[in-house]
Each structure stands twice: as C-alpha cells, then as structure tokens.
Amino acid sequence: MNEELEKHSIPIIHLFKGILYDSNEFVWKSLLQQETHVRNYFAIVGLELIINEAEGFAFLKQKVFSEEITANIPKLVEKRQLSFPVSILAILLRKKLLEFDNKGNDSRLVLKKSDIVELLISFLPNNTSNEKRIIDKIDTHITRLIELGFLRELKNEENYYEVSRILIAYMPVEELQLTLDKLNEYKKNVGANEE
C-alpha cells in the first residue's frame, strides 16, 4: 500500500509545486503510469490535470464550476496578474515559438538575452535615454518569466534561455493572432505619441 501511494504521490507533489516537464524523466514516467490515480486525486479537490505528452509538460488548472458553487469554493490555483511588459514579452515569445515550429524545427527554441531585449524594447515607452536602466528592467521581466516557467535559463551558457513549450497551453494559436493585432495597434499608438 505504501509503495502504491508513493508512486502517485511523487508526481502529485511535483504538480502542486508547478509545471512538470518530461525532462524530469523519473517523475514524468511515474505520472504517465499513475495518470488515473493522479487525475482522480486532483479531481477530488477541484483541479484538472492537463497533460500534453507531445510537447512534454503537465500542469494543474482550476476546474470551472457554476457561479453558485464557485462562490463557496476557495481557489487552489491562483491566477497570477502579469505586468504589462511581462505580458507583452510572453506574447512575443509565443509568437517566436510558433514561427520556430512553422519552420519544422525539431529542437528547442533557445534565445540569447540580446534577442529577448530586442523583442521587447520597441514596445516599451522610450521615456529614458539610460540604456542600462532599460536592460535592468527587462532583466526583471525575464526573471518573472523564469519564475512562471515560460523561460528556462540554460545552465552551461550564460544569457541563453529556452522558451518553454508551456506557452502553447496558455496561448493557443487562435488567440495569438488577435492578441498580436492588438499589440501592433498599441505599438503604433506609442510610436505616434513619441513623435
């Protein structure tokens, strides 16, 4: 009995801590073997287990209940409010990931810090000529995306980041184009205001 509990406890604990990737081979294999038990466990507490085997990630999502029920159920998975620059950067990284996939690349998308800075800088208000200050702010946004699991810093290469495929789950292609259109409209308005 203890051995069975241990088998599905390991992925459960990892999922409570955040996104689980297939790169954590032992826990990933355990999750796939114990999927029914793990799914049932989370269902009891009102959470839905999302597994994307093709992309190699799993995470938890709060189940949607009727308004009457929702009013009485505390949320276990809190929605995190992102700052405007962090939201923009997540959208731009999702776009990069789509372009990368459309080229038929089988490997992972890795970007240099300078590439990420270049992506974001044109969307930031140009109210300072201090480039170091701007870079420091972008470093803060990159750190936030790492905390959220959308970027992973490469261990052996400084200032290189892997764009996490979890962005696919948070922003499907259908939503991406609409969001990009709004973002481009914003960029035009920011440019017009600076002139």
What are 60-116's pLDDT values in tens digits?
888 776 666 555 566 655 556 777 788 888 888 998 988 898 887 777 899 999 999
As beta bridge partners, residue 60 has 49
* CA dist list (Å): 35 to 12, 19, 28, 29, 181: 10, 15, 10, 10, 39
- Quote the pLDDT of residue 191: 54
For the chain, which residues make up each domain, given as ranges?
2-70, 84-194
Provide the CATH topology of domain 84-194. Answer: Arc Repressor Mutant, subunit A (1.10.10)
Secondary structure string (H, E, C) spanning 43-55 = HHCCEEEEEECCC
The mean per-residue pLDDT over the stretch 135-164 comes to 88
In the sheet with 20-21, reading across from the earlier edge strand, the strands are 20-21, 57-62, 47-52
Q: What average pLDDT is seen over the chain?
A: 80
Topology match between the domains 2-70 and 84-194 = yes
Q: CATH number of the domain at 2-70, out of 3.90.930, 1.10.150, 1.10.405, 1.10.10?
A: 1.10.10
pLDDT digits (tens, 9 = 90+) for 126-141: 655 677 777 788 888 9
Q: Which residue has the higher pLDDT, 125 or 40?
A: 40
Please, which pLDDT band fits residue 33 given cuts at 50, 70 and 90? very high
